[in-house]
A and B are shown apart, each in its own frame.
Chain A
């Protein structure tokens, strides 16, 4: 029983950052029908930026919590700006072009960011020092939950609740949802669709940045090309929940995290990615629109 509880805790933790990263994919896909292949790399870039802030030594030895907060804020702001720049330079000019042109542009952006990280921070694995976070854990029977897990679970829950409230209970959130359903109709209703798209490219990467820094703090390492695999996993989470659907991405992230945690116990780790992708293909075949259904209108 305690083993199950432990796996559950681990699964929810991993699911938390998958969900945060998945939100960026799903929001962009919702309004633009574009798989933003650069999103995973943006999130991992956040881990590097966060690490640089945390190890900068600013504020001296007692800065602790403040420095941690600063790392998250700097990473989120920087990645939010990077997302907006990316949208403006690489995607906006291709809004009217064949959709694969934007996909290649996204792939190019992904390569650019990944190798930019390599050139700035070197190709080696960056280890997050163990003294960045308090080394506390709480016992629950034989299962335990560590400080970093509590931080990730609470942090992702708060951010997701905030985003849900923003998208469903504010005027601008309504505009985002309207633009996802029908851009032309939204434009006719006086919604500035360009602003909606730009905001989605700030919000999504900013949330993903927090997710990416969580990844780094949880596994205590970051390397330049890890964006692909975390990005793909988060993207799978978005598809599981139903791509284009914001609550779906949250649900998909948690489900994928739990799936990984429980599958890992029964399958050798060298096959773990394979079962994730097998699950993905199975879901695509059985229910391509995901659990919560796709809120994307099909064009004929």
Chain B
């Protein structure tokens, strides 16, 4: 009886997400150019924030250097496209694999560190990464100015050059990441991540290889961030070290905590608060981070679990 009364309500709640996504398809038709690009940027950062959530909110590792993997994806696409003339869609899988590999390689030695030490090590990676980009490593990264002139993606001879078509590309990619997150949540891997987060000791006694799964969490998170990096390079037609600095990692970290760990609506809401709301108050730009600082404290004090915490496990 209880179940039958609740079913329509639950079904409606589950339909809200997909409906909002479908509504998003109307953005290029209904809104003007600047809002189309704001929503495109939102979709890209939502992907990065969701990937940060895999490492931080789901596997429970304090990763404060996630902008590195976002940057790897963006730079791989920019370098391959501008210097070697590869089409964007060919660079995309390379960017994803490169970011995932770097995620695995960087995390392999440090996943044994607990909590705060891991956090500090990942900050170190981020700072070294940005310095390397700025110092024009191997004459590929273009130094402090970065790389300009990233081309537009072509699909079957059709150039995705308008803001609207790029938005659809980003919006589709976001849908793919959301589906992946949903599947991850229901999969064995997702459950192992959660188990490791809740009680690593218990998980290892049940035969979970903690180290391998932690590296896997980093690799998956980094791969998704790398995929978003490609889209970011295309959206701005350029990349520069400033987009991947340590404070960007802090913002991503805060999005997950402010929104709600391991909560998809929470992370999306957090991304919207950090990247869309400021656009509404652009006249007050200089107060933006001042207000963010206050907001972060207030949200944490009032809702330590985040604005939209994860619901009970179904």
A-side residues, CB < 8 A to B, are 29, 33, 35, 89-90, 93-94, 97-105, 107-116, 118-119, 228, 232, 235-236, 239, 243, 270-271, 273-274, 277-278, 280-281, 284-285, 288, 300
Contacts and interface: CB of A to CB of B under 8 A. Distances in A.
Nearest to B60: A100
B124 A280 contact: yes
Interface stretch (B2-10, B37-45, B113-121, B168-176): B113-121
A12 B117 CA distance: 26
Given A104-B258, A107-B254, A112-B297, 13 more contacts: A90-B297, A90-B301, A98-B304, A105-B301, A107-B253, A108-B254, A108-B296, A115-B289, A271-B135, A274-B127, A274-B128, A278-B128, A285-B109
B128 A288 contact: no
Given A90-B301, A274-B128, A285-B109, A104 B119 contact: no
Nearest to B115: A99
Contact of B297 (A109, A243, A273): A109
B89 interface: no
A111 B113 contact: no
Nearest to A268: B135
Contacts of B296: 104-105, 107-108, 111
Contacts of B293: 108-115
Contacts of B113: 284-285, 288
B257 interface: yes
B254 A94 contact: no
Contacts of A277: 123-125, 127-128
A232 B65 CA distance: 14
A285 B121 CA distance: 9
Contacts of A228: 246-247
Interface size on B, as a range, is 35 or more
Contact of A100 (B131, B257, B292): B257
A259 to B, nearest CB: 15
A89 B292 CA distance: 16
B297 A270 contact: no
Given A115-B290, A273-B127, A94 B301 contact: yes
Interface string B43-55: 0000000000000
Contacts of A99: 115
A111 B116 contact: no
Nearest to A243: B116
Among B134, B254, B296, B305, max chain A CB count under 10 A is at B296
Among A97, A280, A281, max chain B CB count under 10 A is at A281
Interface string B124-154: 1101100110110000000000000000000
Contacts of A236: 120
Given A104-B300, A285-B110, A111 B289 contact: yes
Contacts of A281: 110, 121, 124-125
Contacts of B294: 108, 112
B286 interface: yes
Contact of B286 (A100, A111, A119, A284): A119
A280 B301 contact: no
A111 B117 contact: no
8 contacts: A35-B116, A94-B301, A97-B300, A108-B293, A109-B293, A114-B289, A273-B127, A277-B123
B250 interface: yes
Nearest to A89: B297
B176 to A, nearest CB: 28
Contact of A108 (B62, B120, B134, B300): B300
Interface string B255-274: 00110010000000000000
A103 B62 CA distance: 10
